Amino acid sequence: MIPIKLYLVLSGVLFVIGTSGVLVRKNVLVMLMSVEIMLNAVNLAFVSFARYMMLPKGQVYVFFSITVAAAEVIVGLAIIISIFHKKESMDVDDMNVLKG
């Protein structure tokens, strides 16, 4: 049996990679993808806990989180496309209309 620590460390690493993606990249799509990576990292942790706590409930939650992620992507992409049409650029720094 592989100790759970490894799985968690792996999800931690994936999570950090996802965060770096969000921070570093300027292209909105890639940012969205890195958010998805972070999401998967968390799902991984969920499943590993479910497995080691022997609670199938964990998997149900992952199932729900995936559907929610899907919904999120749909809306995200729709927004991105509409912004793109207005701004003609995918650069996230141009989208600072909501300045304080």
Partner 1 sequence: MNSTLLNSVLFVVLFPVFGSLFVGIAGKWLKKPLAGIIASCSVGLSFVISVFTFFSLIKLPPDLRFFDKVFFQWVPVGHFLVNFGFYVDPLSLLMIMVVSSVSFVIHLYSIGYMKDEEHFSRYFSYLNLFVASMLLLVLADNFLLLFMGWEGVGLCSYLLIGFWFHKKSAADAGRKAFIINRIGDFGFLLGILLIYHTFKSLNYNVVFSNAPLILSHGSGIATAITLLLFMGAVGKSAQLPLYVWLPDAMEGPTPVSALIHAATMVTAGVYMVARTHVLYQLSPVSMGVVAFVGIITAFYSASIGMVQFDIKRILAYSTISQLGYMFLGVGVAAYSAGIFHLMSHAFFKALLFLCAGSIMHASAGETDLRKLSGLRKYLPVTFWTMVIGALSLSGFPGTAGFFSKDDILAHAYVTPYYGKFLWGLGIITAALTSFYIFRMIFIVFWGDKQKESHPHESPKIMTFPLIILALLAIIGGYVGLPESNLIHRFLSPVFLGTAVLSSNVELKTIMVSLVFSLGGIATAWYFYLVNPSLPESMKKKAAGLYKLLLNKYFVDEIYERIFVLPGRKLSSFFADVFDAKYIDGAVNETGKWIKTNSEQWRKIHTGYLRNYALIILIGGILLLGFLMTKIH
Partner 2 sequence: MGLIIFLILGILSVFTAIAVVVEKRPVYSALYFIANLVVLSLIYLTLHSEFLAVVQVLIYAGAVMVLFLFVIMMMPPVVENRFGKMSFQKFLIMPLLLIFLFELVYVLSCGLYASAGKSPSSLSFENFGGIVSLGQLLFKRYLVPFEITSLILLVAIIGAVYLRRSEQ
How far apart, in whole angstroms, are the C-alpha atoms of residue 72 and residue 32?
Answer: 10
How far apart, in whole angstroms, are the C-alpha atoms of residue 28 and residue 25?
Answer: 8
Binding to partner 1 by residue 30, rule CB under 8 A?
Answer: no
The count of chain residues that interact with partner 2, using the rule CB under 8 A, is 74
Chain positions 32 to 71 lying near partner 2, rule: CB under 8 A, are 32-34, 36-37, 40, 43-45, 47-57, 59-60, 62-64, 66-71
Binding to partner 2 by residue 8, rule CB under 8 A?
Answer: yes
Binding to partner 2 by residue 25, rule CB under 8 A?
Answer: yes
CB atoms within 10 A of CB 77: 13
80 binds, among partner 1, partner 2, none (CB under 5 to 8 A by kind): partner 2
Alpha-carbon Rg for the chain in angstroms: 17
